[in-house]
Structure 1
Amino acid sequence: MTAAAGTKPGAAPAAPQPDTGGPVLTVSGLTVSVRGDDGERAVVADLSFSLARGETLCIAGESGSGKSMTSLAVMGLLPQPQARVSAGSIRLGDLELTTLGERRMQAIRGNRVAMIFQEPMTSLNPVLSIGRQLIEAIEAHTDLSGSEARASAIEALKAVRIPEAESRLKQFPHELSGGMRQRVMIAMALALKPDVLIADEPTTALDVTVQGEVLELLRDLQREQGTAVILITHDMGVVAEMANRVIIMRNGRMVEQGSVADIFERPQVDYTRELLAAVPKMGTGRANAAAKPAEPAKPAAVAQVRDLHVRFDLHGGFFGRVTRRVHAVEGVSFSIAPNETLSLVGESGCGKSTTAKALAGLLPYSGDIAVGERNLAGLGRDERKAVRRDIQMIFQDPYASLDPRMRVGELVAEPLLIHNIGTPKERTDRVAALFERVGLSADQMERYPHEFSGGQRQRICIARALALRPKLIIADESVSALDVSVQARVLQLLKELQNEFGVAYLFISHDMAVVENISDRVAVMYLGQIVEMGTRDQIFANPRHPYTRRLIEAVPVPDPARRRPRFARLHSEIASPVRRVGDPPAKLDLRDIGDGHLVAAH
């Protein structure tokens, strides 16, 4: 019997209820040990839980708590010989997995137990096309013919809303965005309809609307197949939306477990209460608006963007002629004042990051970009270099942004060296002051990036961005990969630095709750164009464009009592910004509906 048995059509519960039969997965006294220079230590200690058919068990906690090591142990994918299951049992039904040989484990892995990994780029083979990898996974565990496996692969890609699914089969992982790669991983895991699905941060890199659709897809799978899900996440909104039961882990140990209602309404330990308190909630940003000092007068803009266009030509045909063109950014205009945060929001491919890169001088563009009073289009090389001191970027992945061969003190001082600012001692003193300001100590300047946590590395990136005392910092998904408590501390740091230095932020994010908490103004982008722009209160309290309303409605509420009955999935493909040469997209006209609230006709 599936978890949806007995429900009326169209009235399925938001979270399918587990089967009351025997557990499909049982973990007893699991201890995972890792060998290091100082001997062996346990990264997961004495962990026990069971999983019923059709149940969703969420494992939550900060980085290093043992969540991912638990999932790797269940999958039999612990890195050998450094890590091993040193004690305990993992049973899939009546089958003991810890003593199973690799050949038998391969038959189970991906078929009866599947996993969606957090980082798709390291999980997909870079030299094989998406289609080959997906079809091979289907053929390895089924008796389908090649054409049937291909048709199944296309359906799996369509199920996770990948546009032009059939043509995507020929593409390689590097040709897809991060969100697209994650959808491919989800499609690969769901294609075989496993008994147990382990999802390790499956929606971290996804837009809020795609996240809602993927979560609904997981619920559909549970209703239809009775699939049991282990969901590993630091997004407590997703936990509230999906979980039947919750395990809270810290330092390799389970500190609390219970039903989702008990964890959110009656947490028993301080750590759980701290995690829940750090969750950004919709509405709190507007409630705390008075915390930021009001500007007495509107100063001159730090940056002005007028009629910005960014297009990329696609070559095709036998002679490689330009047949199609990507209209990545089409006619975007906005300005940013000192001490102001303007957020760009929208789904992957809408042009947010392309706009930011054009503003930072990293992409060719047409239109006008002025920093201060100087238009970048009319400047020479040396003048452009001087202007770019005023614009710095904080990227999504701090580890990929920092050279692993350089000490972090050298990395923060590097912009000063490039622009020939100060003597060596003056640079060292400024870097030490910056480290202190972002919550690190000066004696940590001699360490390397790998010696820091993810949150600390992002603080180093913030210090590097501040080194030149810029007027504008572009934060491109700068907190999306961080634990919720670390995210809260980094966001608070950004606010403090803004109040202290008067720096402006162009904040790019797909997390609408974070955007609502940090923004002064918000611009909503769709297919390279702005469809709505206004103050935070105008956008979140009175969204007027249907696309804006859909983005806000897609945000999971960190309260299990307010679970959505269903999230409406789109059955059509996502619109594409690719056009034939000579066929420009329709130009949107923004209309002021009052007090500077701009909305495109729809």
Structure 2
Amino acid sequence: MTGAGQATVADKPASRHAKPVLDVSRLSVAVRDEDGEREVVSDLSFSVARGETLCIAGESGSGKSMTSLAIMGLLPQPMARISAGAIRLDGVDLAALPESRMRHMRGNRIAMIFQEPMTSLNPVLTIGRQIVEAIEVHTPLSRREARQRAIEALNAVRIPDAERRLGQYPHELSGGMRQRVMIAMALALKPDVLIADEPTTALDVTVQGEVLELLRDLQRETGTSLILITHDMGVVAEMADRVIIMRNGRMVEEGSTIDIFSAPRTDYTRELLAAVPRMRTGEGARPPAAPQQHAEGTNEAASAVATVRDLQVRFDLHGGFFGRVDRRVHAVEGVSFSIARNETLSLVGESGCGKSTTAKAIAGLVPYSGDISIAGRSLQGLSSADRGAVRRDVQMIFQDPYASLDPRMRVGDLVAEPLLIHRIGSREERRAQVASLFERVGLSADQMDRYPHEFSGGQRQRICIARALALKPKLIIADESVSALDVSVQARVLRLLKDLQREFGIAYLFISHDMAVVENISDRVAVMYLGQIVEMGTRDQVFSNPRHPYTRRLIEAVPMPDPRMRRERFARLESEIPNAVRRVGDPPQRLVLADAGEGHLVAG
């Protein structure tokens, strides 16, 4: 990757002995709920030196985010409060400050970048107005001077054409661009401490690399101390000088990055590191059971669980005074592949490449052209009833399990719902089958009468898997199904998917931007870019010998969970990822896949 390299980790000079800019002493945070008050952070102490990067890592519920909110004075009131301890910024106890003084410190001396920029930015205000207002609140600058500083901040985070961007709204920017705007807002006032709470979790791996590189550059230039909160141990290995591991609100281990990764002292840290998916450690791909391309009517095509030929999905964009269709999004353009029984094909690529749209077309959720066959039966020309019967063989597992489950229904009813819709079995038979499914995915039958909010994220995803299994499908589409989960939960869900595949012979279409996860679960991999496949082959072919430049860029951008492999620099993205919008009437630019040997297909 251009501009990438490797470097060994070296502690920043005097970081251990320098006077801390932030000192957290015996911090405890209590939350009040129906059962009374309970501590979610207990007796936590740490310090951060100027220019140092401290990573706080742990699973969901470990207290990482509550710690950051306590430091910022943003605990949700009146449900949460600091019950003990002190938070000193250059000797000033932030926990004891009134809100009027804390408001001045917040943003000016200490700033925060949140995980989801779209929820942190006001959708009805322009980017420029939001940055300028923040500068005006904390400085005596005039409106013109504040605007100029806003432009400088956007330039600092390498947003092209910064002055024009000031007039745009958040929805007009990509996810990576919005995150860069959040960083610009946080750094416009040159804070002493910057807290970044999962700043790259929802980003593509290449955009993630750019954001991490940006944080490192700005830290070198300004001397800002960085507290990075994450459950991504690859990001920890790339960024941290020191690491704190948290569990159930308590610190279980603290040390230098090298020590934490090479000689963890606690069982929990060892388990956390063991669960991290790593590149080049897969079990070895099985040879594909079905060729990647099929001629019409061949036996191989008939034996595939799913066959997609020349799939096209396009969305019209209306513009002009009369709303005339003048442009069209070529979301998927000429995609072809097949998936055999007991096989996992992964679609990978950055946001907007068309992988989720491909999945929705197969599941019948968006209109398409081309041919899709399920279990040898083409969907073309079928009646709605016949099409529905075929669709029973295709089920989906979505990224956010909580959004996939009706919060007003008991989880047992949610899993039984597909059976009820298709009028399968009596009430007692459905309940017995649901109980069996619950046990199969690692839950107990006595949990069937609970509601979704009573489960953890990993348990909710298991409920979604049970629901997908209810109709005994031949193909399950898993669309970013583990990207929002902690690494240990992610590992258990991936293990469950593999076990179920071996037991039932299910075919998986696995969609992800996490290349390490893909490398560990896939039999074959198809890489998508701008709605088309640019490379496809067995997992070993794609990961051991990537032939297309875009595939190489994706693989090289993956942060390695080993601080000894830390890169000196990430590749830079000087502009947004191009899109697949074309003017109506412009012919599509089709890529041609050529066989590079043994079925390894690469676009020329």
Query: Is the TM value for this pair above 0.5?
Result: yes
CA drift at 1:447:
0.4
Whether 1:600 and 2:603 are equivalent positions in the alignment is: yes
Identify which of 380, 386, 392 aligns with 1:383: 386
CA drift at 1:374:
2.4
Who is 2:230 aligned against? 233
Counterpart residue type for residue 486 of structure 1? V
Contact 1:233/1:239 (8 A) holds in 2: yes
- In the TM superposition, 1:367-446 aligns within 5 A as 367-446=370-449
CA drift at 1:108:
2.1
Structure 2 vs 1, CA of residues 147 and 471 (structure 1 numbering), >3 Å: closer, same or farther?
Answer: farther
Whether 1:280 and 2:293 are equivalent positions in the alignment is: no
1:366-422 deviation line (CA, Å, top 9, x unaligned):
221221222223222112211111111111111111111111011111111111111
Whether 1:566 and 2:561 are equivalent positions in the alignment is: no
CA drift at 1:520:
0.5
CA drift at 1:114:
1.6
- In the TM superposition, 1:297-376 aligns within 5 A as 300-376=303-379
Counterpart residue type for residue 432 of structure 2? D
CA distance in 2, matches of 1:531, 1:379: 31
Whether 1:110 and 2:107 are equivalent positions in the alignment is: yes
Counterpart residue type for residue 97 of structure 1? L
Counterpart residue type for residue 329 of structure 1? V
- In the TM superposition, 1:548-559 aligns within 5 A as 548-559=551-562
Structure 2 vs 1, CA of residues 527 and 144 (structure 1 numbering), >3 Å: closer, same or farther?
Answer: farther
Counterpart residue type for residue 283 of structure 1? R
Structure 2 vs 1, CA of residues 362 and 244 (structure 1 numbering), >3 Å: closer, same or farther?
Answer: same
Whether 1:35 and 2:38 are equivalent positions in the alignment is: no
1:235-278 deviation line (CA, Å, top 9, x unaligned):
11111110000001111110110000110111111000000111
CA drift at 1:528:
1.0
1:334-381 deviation line (CA, Å, top 9, x unaligned):
111111111111111111111111111111112212212222232221
Whether 1:137 and 2:134 are equivalent positions in the alignment is: yes
1:24 partner SS: strand
CA drift at 1:570:
2.7
Who is 1:70 aligned against? 67
2:20 partner SS: coil
Contact 2:557/2:570 (8 A) holds in 1: yes
CA distance in 1, matches of 2:287, 2:580: 40
Contact 2:289/2:340 (8 A) holds in 1: no
CA distance in 2, matches of 1:15, 1:149: 38
Whether 1:86 and 2:89 are equivalent positions in the alignment is: no
CA drift at 1:126:
4.2
Who is 1:254 aligned against? 251
Contact 1:16/1:219 (8 A) holds in 2: no
2:96 partner SS: coil
Contact 1:16/1:222 (8 A) holds in 2: no
Who is 1:588 aligned against? 591
- Give unpaired runs (5+ residues) of structure 2: 292-299
CA distance in 2, matches of 1:373, 1:120: 44
Contact 1:395/1:475 (8 A) holds in 2: yes
Counterpart residue type for residue 111 of structure 1? N
Whether 1:124 and 2:121 are equivalent positions in the alignment is: yes
Of stretches 223-232 and 159-168 in structure 1, the one that deviates more from structure 2 is: 159-168
Identify which of 491, 496, 501 aligns with 1:498: 501
CA distance in 1, matches of 2:547, 2:490: 29
Contact 1:529/1:588 (8 A) holds in 2: yes
CA distance in 1, matches of 2:418, 2:133: 47
Who is 1:221 aligned against? 218
CA drift at 1:110:
2.3
Counterpart residue type for residue 114 of structure 1? A
Of stretches 415-424 and 127-136 in structure 1, the one that deviates more from structure 2 is: 127-136
Who is 1:289 aligned against? 284
CA distance in 2, matches of 1:194, 1:81: 28
CA distance in 2, matches of 1:152, 1:533: 47
CA distance in 2, matches of 1:175, 1:387: 39
CA drift at 1:295:
6.2
Who is 1:518 aligned against? 521
CA drift at 1:305:
1.3
Identify which of 18, 22, 35 aligns with 2:19: 22
CA drift at 1:121:
4.2
Counterpart residue type for residue 498 of structure 1? Q
Of stretches 97-106 and 48-57 in structure 1, the one that deviates more from structure 2 is: 97-106
CA drift at 1:111:
2.8
| TM, length-normalised to structure 2 | 0.92
Structure 2 vs 1, CA of residues 169 and 570 (structure 1 numbering), >3 Å: closer, same or farther?
Answer: same
Structure 2 vs 1, CA of residues 214 and 18 (structure 1 numbering), >3 Å: closer, same or farther?
Answer: farther
| TM, length-normalised to structure 1 | 0.92
Contact 2:287/2:523 (8 A) holds in 1: no
CA distance in 1, matches of 2:223, 2:211: 17
2:23 partner SS: strand
CA drift at 1:519:
0.4
Contact 1:14/1:564 (8 A) holds in 2: no
Contact 1:16/1:55 (8 A) holds in 2: no
CA distance in 1, matches of 2:579, 2:147: 23
CA drift at 1:151:
6.2
Contact 1:475/1:508 (8 A) holds in 2: yes
Of stretches 61-70 and 370-379 in structure 1, the one that deviates more from structure 2 is: 370-379
1:481 partner SS: coil
1:378 partner SS: coil
Contact 2:41/2:250 (8 A) holds in 1: yes
Contact 1:304/1:370 (8 A) holds in 2: yes
Structure 2 vs 1, CA of residues 503 and 185 (structure 1 numbering), >3 Å: closer, same or farther?
Answer: farther
Identify which of 27, 44, 49 aligns with 1:47: 44
Who is 1:265 aligned against? 262
Residues matched between the structures, number: 589
Structure 2 vs 1, CA of residues 167 and 377 (structure 1 numbering), >3 Å: closer, same or farther?
Answer: farther
Aligned-CA RMSD value: 2.6
Of stretches 339-348 and 126-135 in structure 1, the one that deviates more from structure 2 is: 126-135
CA distance in 2, matches of 1:561, 1:42: 37
1:2-30 deviation line (CA, Å, top 9, x unaligned):
xxxxxxxx999878826654211110010
Contact 1:15/1:242 (8 A) holds in 2: no
Counterpart residue type for residue 399 of structure 2? Q
Contact 1:14/1:566 (8 A) holds in 2: no
Of stretches 90-99 and 573-582 in structure 1, the one that deviates more from structure 2 is: 573-582
1:30-60 deviation line (CA, Å, top 9, x unaligned):
0111122332211111100000111110111
Contact 1:282/1:516 (8 A) holds in 2: yes
Give aligned-pair identity as a percent. Answer: 79
1:454-512 deviation line (CA, Å, top 9, x unaligned):
11011111111111111111111111111110000000000000111111111111111
CA distance in 2, matches of 1:312, 1:148: 43
CA distance in 2, matches of 1:284, 1:88: 44
Structure 2 vs 1, CA of residues 465 and 449 (structure 1 numbering), >3 Å: closer, same or farther?
Answer: same
1:146-179 deviation line (CA, Å, top 9, x unaligned):
5665566566567667788777666655666666
- Give unpaired runs (5+ residues) of structure 1: 1-9
CA distance in 1, matches of 2:119, 2:178: 10
CA distance in 2, matches of 1:50, 1:248: 14
Of stretches 130-139 and 378-387 in structure 1, the one that deviates more from structure 2 is: 130-139
CA distance in 1, matches of 2:472, 2:127: 44
2:517 partner SS: helix
Counterpart residue type for residue 383 of structure 2? G
2:310 partner SS: strand
Who is 1:544 aligned against? 547
Contact 1:241/1:557 (8 A) holds in 2: yes
